[in-house]
Chain A
Amino acid sequence: MSTCHQTRNPFSETESPAVGVTCEQLSKRFGSLEVLKQIDLRIEPGEIFVLMGPSGSGKSVLLKHIVGLERPSSGKVTVGEFDAADATTRERVRMALVFQAGALFNSLTVYDNLALYPREHRLASEAGIREKVMRALQILSLEDAAGKYPSQLSGGMRKRVAIARALVMEPQLMLYDEPTSELDPVMAATISEIIATLKDEYHVTSIVVSHDRDLALNIADRVGILMEGRLAVVATPAELRSPADERVADFLNPKINLKQPRFRALAT
């Protein structure tokens, strides 16, 4: 499966196989709290999979399992052919995670943030690194920000820099944690367009954790909805326009009821 989807390197004509992700009976406990409950999921190479769900439903924890920042309490996550919990998987598969707050290195300029990965892995000469970094900044329309520090950037620019930094890694798998949170609607739409464009142009597998219904219904190939640690549904955006599951329907199309507010029900 993986060989028929090739990621196209944004910096050269070379191609590498896009990778799929498989979760088998994945469970995660933090003390007595079970955050993920026997998740079974297959994400195909080259697809955009959007993971939605209420706050605290375990979306970001699932993302951390895929990238190897968390270890399952039971079950297994496989990236390509490799166990995600194995540290060597990060050497075999190029994965890039765009963190919710960007996680940019505050002591480095935007240019140095992007150059860190190729420098540390000695992927090119300084001239080659400069070319890669400037190309990534150009793709995200950030050329003027190269010399700035993260603290000098707006929220939307920080997200774009985080995506550009991920792009420099020439990833086979891109993961986004709430890429449109705290952004105005126009900037949120811009970020959604960037994610879809990167998928179309470079064929990377993209997994997006988001609360953004517009993003999910417009750019996703499939959407998964996590409810209380379980995958309540996995469906295409078209199927989700009229979901059978009442909880999913309520999550996607919540009605504002001023006569019987939800928070009153939550309090009792």
Chain B
Amino acid sequence: MKPILAVLEGIGDTVLLLVRTLRHAPALPRQWPRFVDQCYQIGYATLPIVAILSFFIGGVLALQAGYSMSNFGAKEFIGSLVGLSMARALGPVMVAVLVAGRVGSAITAELASMKVYQEVDALVTMNIPPERILVLPRLAAVLVMMPVLAIIANLVGWFGGALVAHTVDFIALEPDKYFETLRRYTKFEDVSDGLVKAEVFGFVVVLVCCSIGLRTRGGPREIGASVTKAVVTSLILILVLDYFLTKALL
């Protein structure tokens, strides 16, 4: 019974945090420097790892698809397979997982240590709502940066697939043909649905990581436990939400 109550309490606290943060939304222009800093942390600093992983995921998709499809003369459809897979499923999920691991963990660690070392209490006594300066800029930044990261992941993944399909001997598919099927079968809606998913995943990851960080009590051990909890919860939520969003957007 106790674990169920703890989960319900966590959900309630997270919803309350969201409501309190949204109440401060009009103050966002005044948080411009913090917003820009968070855009840097979430977007720019995450970009290299997103690019590297996307490139190889696109490459592996092309390799695996080329190996199977070459046997029955359908290798020109590798472009459509990589295009759709990256845009609708792998791109947004991979970006969200990276954001959870790299950004979410850092957010939880920072807010948890601020809570444990009474910096959050200091803000409250100064009549500065923690939601306004700690949560709002992060949520706004993730909403701006997730589509950017997802688009870059798609593009790099597509080019990774093209390069592998062209250079691997047993596939040897011309880039023209690869991109022709990619363009023909990957519609704008496929890309936009993927961006919607990325947006939802990113928002939930940052909200959950902020909530868990701000609910931390205790000392250094609890900070570590909060980071683990935030990343695990984020990963579970990404995959669960992916199922329901995929179903809703089909």
Asked if B118 and A101 sit within 8 Å, CB to CB, the answer is: yes
Q: Within 8 Å of chain A (Cβ to Cβ): is B232?
A: no
Q: Report whether B128 and A99 are in contact in the complex, using a CB–CB cutoff of 8 Å.
A: no
Per-position contact with B for A80-109: 1 when CB-CB < 8 Å, else 0?
000000000011000111010101111100
CA of A112 to CA of B118 in the docked complex: distance in angstroms?
A: 17
CB closest chain-A residue, reference B132:
A120
Which residues of A, 34-78, contact B by the 8 Å Cβ criterion? 67-69
Contact A67 B125 (CB under 8 A): yes
B71 adjacent to chain A (CB < 8 Å): no
Bound state CA distance, A95 and B117, in angstroms?
Answer: 20
Contact call A99/B122, Cβ cutoff below 8 A: yes
Q: In the complex the two chains form, is B128's CB within 8 Å of A120's CB? A: yes
Quick check: is B7 within 8 A (CB to CB) of the other chain? no
- Count of chain A residues with Cβ under 8 Å from any Cβ of B? 20
A234 within 8 A of partner (CB): no
Cβ of B248 within 8 Å of any chain A Cβ, yes or no, is no
Q: Are B125 and A96 in contact (CB under 8 A)?
A: yes
Alpha-carbon distance A256/B4, docked complex (angstroms):
51
**CB-based contact A101/B117 at 8 Å:** yes
Contact B121 A103 (CB under 8 A): yes
- A interface secondary structure, majority: loop
Asked whether B119 lies within 8 Å of A106 as measured between CB atoms, the reply is yes
CA distance A87 to B36 in the complex (A): 30
Q: Are B127 and A99 in contact (CB under 8 A)?
A: no
The residues of B that contact A67 with a CB separation of less than 8 Å are: 125
Residues of B within 8 A of A187 (CB): none
Which residues on the A side are within 8 Å of B18 (C-beta)? none
| B124 & A69 in contact (Cβ 8 Å cutoff) | yes
Indicate whether A95 sits within 8 Å of B128 (C-beta atoms), given known contacts A101-B118, A103-B117: no
**B127 near A91 (CB under 8 angstroms)?**
yes
Contact B128 A69 (CB under 8 A): no
- In the assembled complex, the Cα of A158 lies from the Cα of B110 at a distance in Å of 20
24 pairs from A and B in contact (CB 8 Å cutoff): A68-B124, A69-B124, A69-B125, A90-B124, A90-B127, A95-B125, A96-B125, A97-B121, A97-B122, A97-B125, A99-B118, A99-B121, A101-B117, A103-B122, A105-B119, A106-B119, A107-B110, A116-B126, A117-B126, A117-B128, A120-B126, A120-B128, A121-B128, A169-B126
Chain B residues with a Cβ under 8 A of chain A: 110, 114, 117-119, 121-122, 124-128, 132-133
- Supply 4 further A-B pairs (C-beta < 8 A) apart from A68-B125, A120-B128: A69-B121, A99-B118, A105-B122, A169-B126
